[in-house]
Structure 1
């Protein structure tokens, strides 16, 4: 493969047997010809080429960064932080176990000879600082001051953080989580300022390859920990937390500052090729392929053979780790892949795949040799395929013969039980003769099972369909593999089965997989293939579990604070039943409200279940967000296109907001005109003043161009299709009555529930006052960022009812009953409705 050459710097490499002084000067700029069709044209003579050129190898590549951030440091930092959090949870959950362990250790140390303990104390007191200082002096002598500076920075940060945590926790929050780490005596501290900086220093300076220094420093740290245990100023839990904290600070400092780039330069790669006997003359860096370095190399000889060299860097082996772990846990592909592979294993896996493909007769570049490049990288040298990848070809250059040849290569692979796992456009090359080559073998697997082979088939079908269309891709595959073989891929034509890049491309054409299935079914209408469930679980399953856990965490403490016995003894059950009926009516009202603003026909039963499911979903998100998201999802599943679905929900929300404001103003004036209400609730002039203040504020904000543009942009995106949908609804009087009737019934149902809750405990207020209190509390609840307006609604309703004249005890009991009926009790049936709708794929 060839690629566009970037601006680069050249690094001459001494040829074997040639003195360094005889190296010739080369130019950093050169030109290259691009192939007109699949294959490349002949390159013009360049330095180091031709019969009279000096055979002095050099490397043309961009300058490498001096420092890099290693993904492994980020993962280790996250793991260390998780260790600290886990220890804090452990000491609060398993207090008896940790205290027993602490007691056992103290009893055991008392049996140790006093002389040995005193000697350990003396050595650790001196050595825990002396050994790191000695190592620092050694690094300075060896001119490794930058690494030492990073270690000192980590130690300073660790010391400062430890002092702050110790002082803040003990003085400001005695008995808190961190204080629970100090079990073991009255003079203990949660974290230890003498050990944490040393651990952070050792972590940040990276002592890999220096076993003696590592053994000395960790021995001193262990003796210091033992001394703390015997003197009872340290506990086991505190020491473990100290270890993880020191590690976290060390790895965090390393990732923030970066580490010296350990990747060998191109000169080292060429030297390794020379040791393989390949005699490189010149090389230049190709664009990376998913963080993998590639070089195009010309070797010595009359022909000047071209190679493509793949370099595997050790620090890149953890790149994409979270994604690979997620795929391994989520999918049922029965693969032998590992989320974390060593450099040696990656080298061996790709080498084995290359040899296996070549032995099976697949057209793939021949692997000429492999070699380690120092201790931080390894290389694979392939014969270069003179051509272009499928991604680089124009549509007119993709002939039927080329497509057929691609499928023939796959057929040979499948017969040999070889799975490529990444059959994307970059993995298929067209040479000068129009033949297909299979490249990019790093994810391949030998002795693949049937599922992996079918996944390869589904992936290649999708890759080619993205370029030439579903009909042409299926037709070309059927000519080689047959309709029966293609039918086995139908159940696997789902996004989760495809590679990440392919899934991203499918977002531009979401119906492509459906069209591929239709084309295959046309070839073999009678075939039946069992469905394949690739997912162990779906992301929405995790959302459901998390939501249920949060609900249980929130519900149980809330209910435990309610005097259920007192409520049962004092409540008038007739009014409780009326309140429950009012709460139940709100779900029917919400269903009518949505159905009224959707011109399409919606079933009442399922729409009612969606509103009930929203009572469960709102436990994990603000109330103003959950209803919109769930209703929009429901409309899309019901066949409404995304744009009109969002517009319909936005229309119902806009009308609901307008009705809410109008009712608040109307009943505010009605309440203000009542002599009884005037004494207890804010009169209507106050409401007018508030509205005028809001209007003035909005006017001032609208006068500022930046604020005005931002508001218009957000409102336009939120309500862009509302007017057309409202116009459709206005044309149907029945829909209009359903929508506005549901909007009014929704408010009336809540007010009936609140009023009946008040009467259930012997209280009584004018209905207009209850309306104003509810509308105010509901507005605050919708604006609050807590799930379901938790906290904001209770506070606003309690204060409003108290101001209106209710005793505080009656107001609190009424609000608790109201929230119990409208928020907490619907959680369980809401979860059941949510699970049912998911199973029916209605949301």
Structure 2
């Protein structure tokens, strides 16, 4: 059998006992980049960003806090404040210098050098910010950081380098030095506050900036390698009663522990005579945070019961893997027996397993994976699940095939005992995918049903989602998109009558994050403008009869949308019910992007009206395609018209800009067509369109009445929204040329359709506000008009939309 990275050397290769324990391992690097430093650097940057956000939205609070501190210290004796200032000015530099000298005497100059580098970088940046950036870019956040006059600075050159130095030099375990250093830093900050040349926000920014430079420098340069060498690992093994003869380190797996294969003699334990091989998993403390961001992301995104910890201590990791190993052995699962655990100094711990000679499932050739082996693998899973043990990483690296052809379950570090039903079903789903990637869905399901049964397999159907799989499996399934549907199909064939409720595994989707970012950006643009608006004055002086016209225009838009759909469906549709469907779409838009909600609801409505699924999808696609083409043509036409006028909208849509945009889009499209994957995707989309949508359009073209109805609906829909936006502007005393209003609406509508937020929420408000301001409207008028427009077209129709949705559901029309 071919030796792999998991195979240990045979006893004859290890030779006779020698003085000491020779360990075959690669030379350890002198310095390593600890994931902990990267995490702390990211946390410091986030803290700095939080300070920036806080001072930009809570200026009065920060200024009030500053005033309270100044007033509170104003009654302190001046002599005491003077002595404190003198002590802090001297001590904030003297204490770190003294510690550096002490480290130099202990021949720890490299650590001091790295800390000095961090201090120099922090000092240089603070000089740049104070002397160049602040004077040349006053206002905004910088003005919020500066408080108390022109003598203050946004960050402080006397404290930031010291914080960076202290962070990078590392004073862990030296409590006296830590207390003295941070006491001096705190005293310097306090005296700065009392003398009014420092603000609370500036000091907070200085602290996070210094910490960021300290941790960032440590991660970039690296820290001394704290991992114990193989000889120390063997010494710890000896304390367990084993006598190691020789050892070899195996190739490490990503995010996995160090692995050593060891030959031992019998000594103090009931072991087989002669040499005996162990497999040691060495857990290093600095590796416990490796992959933390990914684990946090999975923990937040996936529903899990019970919740798991994303960050575990070295002791916690040792206990969890030990407990899982003992529990699996007690459950009768074929797994290497854990024979001992031990700490290796303060920076590592080891777990000693009986070594099983074999290869991982991922390294086997396809022809070596027989049905008998698959059945054996399923038996091991059944034993795990019978004892409520969840493995959570049942990929090709977690299954070891021994020399005798039997399967062993290994790598228990992520498992849990007393697992819930969801965790057990996720294990089943992962193993189904792992085996199907090697032998196909049919063989996988056929062997699984012999062991776990049809009912158990049926429970995995709703969980066959990419998000439920391991990182490696998701990557593999992304290249074989038909695999998961094939597994579902094979399972459903076993019990076609089984009804299984869908399972929502994701707490949120990445699209939700995009929506939150978009809303935050929109709020950042809109809220400052709205906050400067005197709403009482505007409400008192607004011409509200224009709002009544806007309500009528918004109502017409639903009739127009109904005509647009009816025009592209050869079958006869009732106008009143179709209008109700469009009104119901205003309620559905609350939970889905506008384009997605409309397409899904209209398709469902057509199918309920007797149109076959294929023609229904094609009809809705035809209406959407013609609407998009018309929208683009209108935008180009009115863009040229607006660009040729001399009104205030020349900055919004000049004809030259339109030409540049079109040429850029054409160049990018041409470059994209040179990429084979992009070319195949576009070809497939065009093929599907011409095979469904275009024939549907041909059917509509044969009826001039249908074509007039559809195109009339498209034009009337745009016109009604333009009128609604125009009267919203006029209601607050504003006025724009009608061509400018058309361009503003068409631009904002395009942005809203592309935005992944429900109903284009956030994107539409931001784009409308910016476009109207560029067009010449005052900021307060533009913001008020946008709020009224969105109230008329998005928020007011929600309640009647919900009523229409409920009515249509009762009538089984959708």
Q: What is the TM-score when the length of structure 1 is the normalising length?
A: 0.73
Question: SS of 1:279's equivalent?
Answer: strand
Counterpart pick for 1:774 among 720, 735, 742: 742
SS where residue 343 of structure 2 aligns? strand
Unaligned 5+ segments in structure 2 are 267-272, 571-576, 608-612, 732-736, 756-761
| TM-aligned CA distance change 1:828 to 1:707, over 3 Å | closer
User: What is the alpha-carbon distance in structure 1 between the residues aligned to residue 636 and residue 189 of structure 2?
Assistant: 69
Flag the 1:579–1:363 CA change in 2: closer, same or farther, 3 A: closer
- Give the 3 Å change call, closer, same or farther, for CA 505–739 of structure 1 in structure 2: farther
Q: 1:379 aligns with which of 324, 347, 350?
A: 350
740 and 311 in structure 1: CA distance in 2 versus 1, 3 angstrom threshold = farther
Q: Distance in 2 between matches of 1:816 and 1:175?
A: 23
**How far apart are 1:196 and its partner, in Å?**
1.3
Shift of 1:340: 0.9
Please point out which of 794, 804, 807 is paired with 1:827.
794
- What does residue range 264-413 of structure 1 map to in structure 2 within 5 Å? 264-276=228-240, 277-299=242-264, 304-335=275-306, 337-413=308-384
**Does the C-alpha gap of structure 1 residues 661 and 249 become closer, same or farther in structure 2, counting only changes over 3 Å?**
closer
- Distance in 1 (alpha carbons) for counterparts of 2:359 and 2:428: 22
Distance 1:464 1:573 in 2: 63
1:202 to 142, 160, 166: 166
Q: 1:595 to 1:511 in 2, by over 3 A?
A: farther
Change (3 A) 1:212 1:574: closer
Q: CA deviation at 1:106?
A: 4.8
> What is the CA distance between 1:835 and its match in structure 2?
14
Report the more deviating stretch, 736-745 or 443-452: 736-745
Deviation readout 1:412-451 (Å, 9 max, x if unpaired): 3334333222222211111122212110010122333444
| Cross-structure match for 1:177 | 141
Of residues 306-315 and 776-785 in structure 1, the stretch that sits farther from structure 2 once superposed is 776-785
CA distance in 2, matches of 1:635, 1:374: 67
Aligned residues: 763
CA distance in 1, matches of 2:584, 2:682: 22
> d(CA) in 2 for partners of 1:679 and 1:185?
45
Cα RMSD for the two superposed structures? 5.4
Shift in CA distance, 742/135, structure 1 to aligned 2, threshold 3 Å: farther
SS at match of 2:413: coil
* SS of equivalent to 2:306: coil
2:155 aligned with 1:191, yes or no?
Answer: yes
> Does the Cα contact within 8 Å between 2:530 and 2:780 map onto a contact in 1?
no
From the superposition, tell whether residues 57 and 105 of structure 1 become closer, same or farther in structure 2 (CA, over 3 Å).
Answer: same
In the alignment, is the contact (CA less than 8 A) between 1:117 and 1:227 conserved in 2?
Answer: yes
- Unaligned runs of 5+ residues in structure 1 are 6-33, 35-39, 597-602, 619-625, 764-768, 803-807
The answer as to 2:221 corresponding to 1:253 is no
In the TM superposition, what are the counterparts of 1:18-33 in structure 2 within 5 Å?
A: none
Map 1:492-641; keep pairs closer than 5 Å: 492-510=463-481, 512-517=483-488, 519-520=490-491, 523=494, 534-540=505-511, 561=533, 564-565=538-539, 568-569=542-543, 576=550, 579-580=553-554, 583-584=557-558, 587-588=561-562, 608=582
Are the equivalent residues in 2 in contact too, given 1:635–1:645 (CA < 8 A)? no
Kindly tell me: are residues 727 and 380 of structure 1, through their superposed partners in 2, closer, same or farther at Cα, counting changes over 3 Å?
closer
Separation in 1 of the partners of 2:186 and 2:507? 44
Judge conservation of contact 1:296–1:306 (CA < 8 Å) in 2: yes
TM-superposed deviation, 1:173? 6.0
- Cα deviations by residue, 1:355-386 (Å, 9 ceiling, x for unpaired): 23223332211223333334332222222211
After TM superposition, the structure 1 stretch with the greater mean CA deviation from structure 2, 320-329 or 125-134, is: 320-329
Q: TM-score, normalised by structure 2?
A: 0.75
Asked if the contact 1:547/1:617 (under 8 Å) is kept, the reply is no
Q: C-alpha distance in 2, partners of 1:248/1:776? A: 43
Q: Distance in 2 between matches of 1:178 and 1:679?
A: 38
Aligned to 2:123: 159
Contact 2:561 2:713 in 1 (8 A): no
Q: Distance in 1 between matches of 2:418 and 2:379?
A: 19
Asked if the contact 1:755–1:770 (Cα under 8 Å) also holds between the matched residues in 2, the reply is: no
Does the CA-based 8 Å contact 1:579-1:757 persist in structure 2? no
1:131 and 2:95 are equivalent in the alignment: yes
8 Å CA contact retained: 2:362, 2:397: yes
Equivalent residues of 2:725, 2:745 under 8 A apart: no
Q: Secondary structure at the match of 1:199?
A: helix
